[in-house]
A = this chain, B = another copy of it.
Amino acid sequence: MTPDDLDDDIFKGGMSVFLKDAKTADGRSGILIDEDGIIAAIGFKSDRKPENEADIVVEASDMIAVPGFVNTHTHAAMSLLRGYADDMHLQEWLSEKIWPLEAHLVADDVYWGTKLACMEMIRSGTVAFNDMYFFMESAAKAVDETGMKAVLSHGFIDFGDAEKREKEIRATESLVSHIKSLNNPRIKAAVGPHAPYTVSKDALKWCAGFAEEEEILLHIHLSETEQEVKDCIEANKMRPSKLLDECGCLSERTVAAHCCWLNGEECELLGKRGVSVSHNPASNMKLAVNRAMPYKELRNSGANVTLGTDGCSSNNNLDILEEVKFAALLQKFYWNSDTILPAGEALEMITSSGAKALGFGSGKIEEGQYADIVLLDRKTPCMTPLYNPVSNIIYSAGANAVNTVICNGRILMADGYIPGEEETLRKASEIAGNLVSRSEK
Which chain A residues have a beta carbon within 8 Å of chain B's beta carbons?
79-80, 82-84, 86-90, 93, 116-117, 119-120, 123, 282, 284-290, 312, 315-317, 319, 322, 325-326, 328-330, 332-333, 335-339, 342-343, 379-382, 384-388, 391-392, 395-400, 421-422, 425, 428-429, 432-433, 436
Contact = CB atoms under 8 A, between A and B. Distances in A.
A322 B119 CA distance: 20
Decide if the interface of chain A is mainly helix, strand, loop or mixed.
helix
Contacts of A386: 83, 429
Contacts of A384: 79, 82, 116, 425, 428-429, 432
A82 B385 contact: yes
A82 B336 contact: no
16 contacts: A82-B392, A83-B386, A83-B395, A83-B396, A84-B388, A86-B391, A117-B381, A288-B333, A315-B395, A317-B398, A322-B325, A379-B425, A381-B425, A384-B432, A385-B428, A400-B400
A387 B316 contact: no
Contact of A332 (B83, B84, B288, B399): B288
Nearest to A400: B400
Complex copy number for this chain: 2
B333 A284 contact: yes
A116 B79 CA distance: 34
Given A325-B322, A400-B400, A286 B395 contact: yes
A315 B343 CA distance: 13
B342 A387 contact: no
A177 to B, nearest CB: 32
Given A381-B421, A429-B385, A432-B387, A290 B83 contact: no
A317 B393 CA distance: 11
Contact of A89 (B86, B339, B391, B396): B339
A84 B389 CA distance: 10
